[in-house]
Amino acid sequence: MRVLLIGSGGREHALAVGLAADPSVEFLAAAPGNPGIAQVAELHEVKATDPAAVAALAVELAADLVVVGPEAPLVAGVADAVRAKGIACFGPSAAAARLEGSKAFANEVMAAAGVPTARSYACTSPDEVGRALDDFGPPYVVKNDGLAAGKGVVVTDDRAAAERHAADCGRVVIEEFLPGPEVSLFVVTDGTAAVPLMPAQDFKRLADGDEGPNTGGMGAYAPLDWAPADLVDRVLAETVEPTLAEMRRRGTPFAGLLYVGLALTPDGPKVIEFNARFGDPETQVVLALLETPLAGLLGAAATGALAQLPPLRWREGAAITVVVASQNYPGTPRTGDVIEGAEVPGVIHAGTARRDDGALISAGGRVLSVTATGPDLVAARDAAYTLVDSVRLDGAQFRTDIALGAVEGRIKL
């Protein structure tokens, strides 16, 4: 199989490693890719959000399968353009990707499907914002109603900060706060059949102890030994299947990766958000444990053949990934710093670039993530943090407590 992967982040590097390891993949290209992805794929330049350009590249490379990593190309219609050329594509149509592209749309679908989630109001005026904040009380949850790369959400007890974020965004969704530990569940789907991957936990805040601003994600681990045994079955029955049915009913089936972000509240799992793509950095840990060949799985979803796929196989043990971000992330990150020790197995590249003299430099907020597996979480943590210590980047920021709460048995349901 000839595969073209679209994207350039850590998620795409993890996907590229998985695709390259699948014996059925005889050729792997990525566009635009990054220096880490270049170790396993042939890189091509393309504007990932230009549907016609991506489709033309897929034709030129005689791709059998295109895998779209990030949300922006999906929302722009890249999967539609690729499929219009008769090429299988893993990723939802633009119409279906609105589950991520618009919080208000996702809430409308969840309401129609009876999916457990937070009560919410879509607001445009300061008056509406004020009434919604009064209704729910603190902690206030204010979300930008559009793509914001995981950074459009403010959760705060500070009423003035909540009002400021609403004013900055224009159109916002204000939600009831959902208490409880968070879980990310990825579901591979062809629109009808749904294959859940292993649940993982992400760390959204910048600093240890869940302090500081929200980010795209600072680390992740799996499996979640503390999660209820029926978690996946319950989320499939209460959330995934009704949502897929509602999307089919609307004539816009969702095929690709449905990312269900959940809070495990005292009343059961409730949806915090849907994404239309693999999560970053959870993908790094989930794929590190997946033994089933990746291209076969994604290809089956892209061709409507998921129901025929044998059950997934998983490796024993645990995986953890620790994100190394640049100075000042998630604000305007400092870039151009030289990175050393990052061209080894286990280091997944995100915001890296190659300077003219060949040096590896930082080129974004989340620069790389260090992924390790082990017989258990303690061993995986030790291995990951040992590797983090061998990476050199001036001004690097990383959390030292990824998976620590789970290791210490501190996660309370």
Report in angstroms how near the CB of residue 350 gets to ligand GLY at its nearest: 12
Name the one range near ligand GLY by CB under 6 A: 54-62, 230-238, 274-282, 328-336. Answer: 274-282
Contact 275, 282 (CB under 8 A): no
Compute, in degrees rounded to 10, the torsion defined by CA atoms 217, 222, 223, 228: 0
Pick 113 or 147: Cβ nearer ligand GLY: 147
Name the one range near ligand GLY by CB under 6 A: 120-128, 206-214, 278-286, 355-363. Answer: 278-286
Give the full edge-to-edge strand order of the sheet including 42-43. Answer: 42-43, 27-32, 2-7, 65-68, 88-90
175 binds, among ligand GLY, ligand AMP, none (CB under 5 to 8 A by kind): ligand AMP
Other beta carbons within 10 Å of 83: 18
Q: SS3 for 175?
A: strand
280 binds, among ligand AMP, ligand GLY, none (CB under 5 to 8 A by kind): ligand GLY
- Which 207-236 positions form the footprint of ligand GLY (CB under 6 A)? 216-217
Name the one range near ligand GLY by CB under 6 A: 120-128, 279-287, 303-311, 387-395. Answer: 279-287
* Rounded Cα–Cα distance for residues 6 and 48 (Å): 6
* Rounded Cα–Cα distance for residues 12 and 216 (Å): 15
Report in angstroms how near the CB of residue 346 gets to ligand AMP at its nearest: 26
* Rounded Cα–Cα distance for residues 220 and 322 (Å): 7
Contact 202, 281 (CB under 8 A): yes
Q: In the set 64, 190, 238, 280, which binds ligand GLY (CB under 6 A)?
A: 280
- The answer to whether residue 12 forms part of the interface with ligand GLY (CB under 6 A) is no
Q: In the set 64, 145, 175, 282, which binds ligand GLY (CB under 6 A)?
A: 282
Name the one range near ligand GLY by CB under 6 A: 127-135, 138-146, 275-283, 367-375. Answer: 275-283
In DSSP notation, 261-275 reads: EEEEETTEEEEEEEE
Whose structure tokens read 């280091």? 347
Which residues of this protein are in contact with ligand AMP, per CB under 6 A? 118, 141, 143, 150, 153, 155, 175, 177-178, 182, 204, 214, 261, 263, 272-273
The length of the chain in residues reads: 413
Element (H, E) at 79: helix 78-84
Pick 71 or 337: Cβ nearer ligand AMP: 71
- Contacts with ligand GLY by CB under 6 A lie at 150, 202, 216-217, 275, 279-280, 282
